[in-house]
Amino acid sequence: MAKITQIDILRHGLPEGDNCLRGHTDFVLTEQGFEQMKMAIENLNELDCVVSSSLQRCSSFADFIAQKFTINALHSDSWREMNFGDWDGLTRQQLVEQLGDDIDHYWHDPWHVCEDGTAPHNGETLEQFDIRIKRAWQALLTQYKGQKILLVTHSGVMRQLLRLLLEMPRNTTYLHRIHLPYAARMRITVYHDDQQDWPQLQWPPFCD
């Protein structure tokens, strides 16, 4: 009989630092954001483990849920948002003032890298981010195969996962057409059979 792994993926709620490029900047979760996350998973009744980005806008809620279910919470750097380097923590207005048209050029082609292979912001390239999330996903399935997991992470991570699992092309379309509000939740059910993993996006996430 095939094993089934169920992963509920939850974006953090409203953190501090609104209207800026948060990336790896470690903003705390607001009370409103905490309540948003509680409401998003209020029908989740069974869990084996919680895995979370190590940034506190995710990990603080992960610890709360782990305590509620009397299970372990794993904080992992692998599930952090994309690292925007020099741009981390800047508001949109600051980015426009400092970079001018360059910021628009980046958002129109975020897969583009500089001649030396680095990202223009000296953080992660989108390809490096893509590879990181792919490896984190594979490690998650290996470690927690057959279990029910809550993964608490970021919107950029969730978009990248959808790109990988739904085999979307490497362009900007998916980045602009997938809207994930605070405390957005989706479920991926993975069927393990014939030495392969068969992921399925389940929508809405609370329906069996």
Q: Indicate which residues carry an active-site annotation.
A: 12, 81
Neighbouring CB atoms inside 10 A of 73's CB total 19
CB hemisphere CA count around 51 (13 angstroms): 21
- CA atoms of 74 and 47, how far apart (whole Å): 13
- CA atoms of 191 and 200, how far apart (whole Å): 8
- CA atoms of 90 and 122, how far apart (whole Å): 14
57 marked ligand binding residue: yes
Task: State both tokens at 183.
Answer: 């405390």
- In three-state secondary structure terms, 149 is strand
- DSSP string computed for 17-74: STTB--TT--PPBPHHHHHHHHHHTTT----SEEEEESSHHHHHHHHHHHHHHT--EE
Beta-carbon contacts of 26 under 8 Å, excluding residues fewer than 6 positions away, are: 55, 56, 57
List the binding residues.
Answer: 57
| Binding site residue list for substrate | 57
